[in-house]
Amino acid sequence: MTNFKSLGRDIPIPIRLFLGKALLIFLIWKVLYSVFLYDSEYLDHPLTTHVAEASATLLNNIGDMSGFTTRRENTSFIFEGGKSIHEISAIYHNDIISLNIANACNGLEVFILYIGFIICMPSSFWRKTKYIIFGILLLNTINILRCVGLIYLVEYFEIYFDFAHHYLFKAVVYTATLIIWGYFARKIHLKNETV
């Protein structure tokens, strides 16, 4: 136990403040989301619908692909404890299902992770606000392009769909998040630095 206390004293104050804020934001978000916002008509559903509609619109207006529509549908997920029914946004191509977008894939968790990091870092309110707005817009665009890419793979190269869905596009989203964080953090000067 004494090693743990001495380790805490060895961590520089700015890092302890960052970690404390990050833990507090994480706990507040998880409680708010779990109790009030999970699968809500105010947050998850509109964001999932937006991603699906933006993806379909982009597909209908680029290249020679057209005939994409979206619908809200109920689907059931079977898990260890039973069965759960959730709404999804489905993207159809000429009335044939191309992609289901569940609330877990709407980008919300990445947005919260990104915003939490920006809030925890020391900087001016306006700089944080600018980076939050820019970052959310960029990450939302990347998520829409991810869905477009997945539909493109379903249509033309279905063999690569699982790899792209589970690994490639997640790596792209998290890499973009890290790059934006890097740009944000490069102009931060920590006070009370100890090396």
- Domain ranges within the chain, ordered by starting residue: 10-64+104-185
| Dihedral (Cα; 45, 22, 176, 136), 10-degree rounding | 40
The amino acid that residue 29 corresponds to is W
pLDDT of amino acid 135: 96
- Rounded CA-CA distance 174/35 in Å is 27
How far is it, in rounded angstroms, from Cα 53 to Cα 56?
A: 5
Reported as a pLDDT band with limits 50, 70 and 90, residue 34 is confident
Adjacency order of strands within the sheet including 82-93: 68-79, 82-93, 96-101
Residue 42 has pLDDT above 70, yes or no: yes
Nearest to 44 by CA among 112, 113, 98, 91: 112
- Could you tell me if 47 and 108 are in contact, meaning their C-beta atoms sit under 8 angstroms apart? yes
Tens digits of residue pLDDT in 134-151: 999 999 999 999 999 999
**142 touches 54 (CB < 8 A):** no
> Smallest Cα–Cα separation from 98: which of 166, 152, 39?
152
Residue 77: which pLDDT band, with cuts at 50, 70 and 90?
A: low
The whole-number pLDDT of residue 195 equals 34
By residue count, the chain amounts to 195
Q: For the chain, what percent of residues have pLDDT higher than 70?
A: 86
Specify the pairing of strand 68-79 against strand 96-101: unpaired
Residue 32 has pLDDT above 80, yes or no: yes
Helices 125-156 & 108-120 angle (0-180, nearest 10): 160
Instruction: Give the pLDDT score at 98.
Output: 92
Calpha distance 89→95 (Å, rounded) = 14
User: Could you tell me the pTM of the whole model?
Assistant: 0.82
CA dist 6 to 9, 10, 17, 124, 190, Å? Answer: 5, 6, 17, 32, 22
Nearby residues of 10 by Cβ (< 8 Å), 6 or more positions away: none
Rounded to whole angstroms, the maximal C-alpha distance in the chain is 67
